[in-house]
Amino acid sequence: MNKKTIFFDVDNTLLGTRNGKRFCIPPSTLEALSLLKRNGHRVAIGSGRPESFIRLHFPGIFTSYVAMNGSHVVFEGETVFLFEFSAEKVRSLMEHFDSFGCCYTFVGSYHGWPRNIPQNTLDTFGVNYGVPGYLCPAWRPEDVRASMLDFMFTDEEHYRRCRPAFDDTMVLNRNPALPAADLSFKGRDKASGVRALLRYAGIDPKDTIAFGDSYNDLTMMKAVGFSVAMGNGVDAAKQAADYVTAPIFEDGIYKALKHLELI
């Protein structure tokens, strides 16, 4: 069997909330990742999360990743691709989204720049990023080194009012568990990042696998040779996958890799 490159989504695939504690990784998943590497396979991240989050929560595990929904691609510690908005683009996006009353954050590799987030929710919202001191509450457009945007909706009515802001050049990936969403621009998503990494490394897509659970995993699942949906995933992910495994905290990753005879 050819050695495989396996891409893992992060939220609700590698990490989840357990007994009220966020960002928990099942022990069986850690064991599976170790066994994959021992067997000569390559493990990689495919996520909307930034580099700072990956380094903090997976120390020493991943040196290859597609971060921020394809905006930052790293192969074995070397940056392959990094897109960042210009200051002019930041101003343009601010003008557009402010006109619709949107609450959002410019997301970068090591910091985020929030806009219109209610002050009484800013600390709580910041916890979602899982990196201490990630949000910079005071900033100018020229300070921003961001690659994507996250949005917060106070309720469904707020989402309904903001929905016209997202035209057909954008893909809004709503989080089914939170009143939030991340934004991808067409042509720059997890799939484009995966393809860039594979081209750079000379890896045949037939020798790749992706694990995911949500809507922003769908393009990645189509860009690889074999796809696995988590049992806790949305129906769209399960329908798109070649195989559906158990939920994250029922040893879903370990069981799938056993099924595929990779560990």
DSSP letters spanning 191-243: HHHHHHHHHHHT--GGGEEEEE-SGGGHHHHHHSSEEEE-TTS-HHHHHH-SE
Q: Which residues of the chain have pLDDT under 70?
A: none
**Model pLDDT, residue 263:** 97
**What fold characterizes domain 5-82+188-259?**
Rossmann fold (3.40.50)
- The amino acid at residue 227 is S
d(CA 77, CA 10): 18
Q: What angle do CA 45, 48, 50 make, to 5 degrees?
A: 80
Give 183's strand partners: 149, 172
Within the chain, all domains assigned CATH 3.30.1240.10 are found at 87-185
Dihedral angle sign, alpha carbons of residues 208, 235, 69, 177: negative
**Model pLDDT, residue 125:** 84
**What fold characterizes domain 87-185?**
3.30.1240
d(CA 244, CA 231): 6
**Model pLDDT, residue 171:** 85
Contacts of 151 (CB under 8 A, 6+ apart): 102, 103, 104, 105, 162, 172, 180, 181, 182, 183
**Model pLDDT, residue 118:** 86
Within the chain, all domains assigned CATH 3.40.50.1000 are found at 5-82+188-259
Using alpha carbons, list the distances in angstroms from residue 106 to 37, 91, 125, 206. 34, 11, 13, 35
Bridge pairing between strands 103-108 and 180-185 = unpaired
On whether the CB atoms of residues 82 and 51 are closer than 8 A, the answer is no
